[in-house]
């Protein structure tokens, strides 16, 4: 499923760099079904998505020269027929930081399975420093609290960037009170609606 997801991204004109976290990054790994990727960064497992992205960006600093930098993880299954229009919609956005969905679980935040940096975000030195120096946290709850729950607010408060959530909860459920969807994870419960 992950290879299919990356292949669909590649087929839609996206340069794909896989950040592969392994317990032993020196062990042999079968790359036969990944021949289409533009690069692979092998790293020791730890820190989950945010530290994998941090490692990839640190090893390949030229990614800051891209027009857009997408940060995606392997927690989503791709629907190939919907991806082209979704990618077109993503490319049409002009916010410095873009997330697909938000959540009110624990605190308001953007979900981290697919986000994009562009414009001022790519040249912002404090953001670059932040993303390339994330400490490796071994506990998933610590990663969520320290990185995912704060990512959107950092973009706004710490870096002064423009942000957009493509499908915010308040738009998905316009007649509902926040209390009705406050503990809802849209990607788990209403993925088909989304």
- Whether the predicted pLDDT of 144 surpasses 90: yes
Q: Vertex 19, ends 127 and 32: CA angle to 5°?
A: 155
Which tokens hold the place of 35? 């021949």
| pLDDT score of 28 | 87
**CA distance linking residue 187 with residue 56, whole number of Å:** 26
For residue 6, name the pLDDT band (cuts at 50, 70, 90). Answer: very high
Task: Report the phi/psi class of residue 160: left, alpha or beta, with left for phi > 0 and alpha for psi in -120 to 50.
Answer: left
For residue 36, name the pLDDT band (cuts at 50, 70, 90). Answer: very high
**CA distance linking residue 31 with residue 1, whole number of Å:** 15
The larger pLDDT score, comparing residue 42 to residue 164, is at 164
For residue 25, name the pLDDT band (cuts at 50, 70, 90). Answer: confident
Average the pLDDT over 164-171 and give the result.
96
Q: How many CB atoms lie within 10 A of CB 161?
A: 20
Phi and psi for 103 in degrees, rounded to 5? Answer: -155, 150
H-type alpha helices, the chain: 2-11, 48-59, 83-91, 120-123, 125-131, 140-143, 149-153, 169-172, 178-181, 186-189
- Whether the predicted pLDDT of 138 surpasses 90: no
| pTM of structure | 0.93
For residue 66, name the pLDDT band (cuts at 50, 70, 90). Answer: very high
The answer to whether 7 and 79 have CB atoms below 8 angstroms apart is: no
**CA distance linking residue 51 with residue 180, whole number of Å:** 33
Q: How many CB atoms lie within 10 A of CB 175?
A: 5
The larger pLDDT score, comparing residue 25 to residue 183, is at 183
| pLDDT score of 143 | 92
Give every CB contact of residue 87 below 8 A, 6+ residues apart in sequence.
9, 12, 13, 14
Give every CB contact of residue 28 below 8 A, 6+ residues apart in sequence.
none
Distances (CA, A) of 93 to 36, 106, 112, 160, 183: 27, 28, 17, 18, 28
């Amino acid at each position: 499923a992950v290879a299919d997801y990356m292949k669909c991204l590649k087929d839609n004109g996206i340069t794909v760099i896989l950040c592969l976290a392994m317990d032993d990054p020196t062990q042999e790994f079968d790359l036969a079904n990944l021949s289409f990727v533009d690069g692979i960064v092998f790293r020791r497992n730890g820190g989950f998505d945010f530290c994998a992205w941090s490692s990839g960006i640190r090893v390949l600093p030229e990614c800051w020269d891209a027009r857009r930098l997408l940060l995606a993880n392997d927690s989503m299954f791709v629907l190939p027929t919907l991806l082209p229009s979704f990618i077109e919609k993503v490319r049409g956005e002009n916010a410095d930081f873009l997330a697909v969905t938000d959540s009110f679980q624990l605190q308001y935040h953007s979900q981290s399975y697919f986000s994009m940096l562009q414009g001022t975000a790519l040249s912002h030195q404090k953001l670059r420093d932040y993303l390339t120096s994330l400490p490796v946290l071994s506990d998933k709850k610590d990663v969520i609290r320290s990185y995912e729950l704060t990512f959107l607010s950092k973009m706004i408060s710490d870096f002064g960037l423009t942000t957009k959530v493509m499908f915010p909860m308040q738009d998905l459920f316009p007649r509902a009170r926040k209390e009705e969807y406050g503990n809802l994870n849209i990607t788990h419960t209403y993925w088909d609606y989304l």
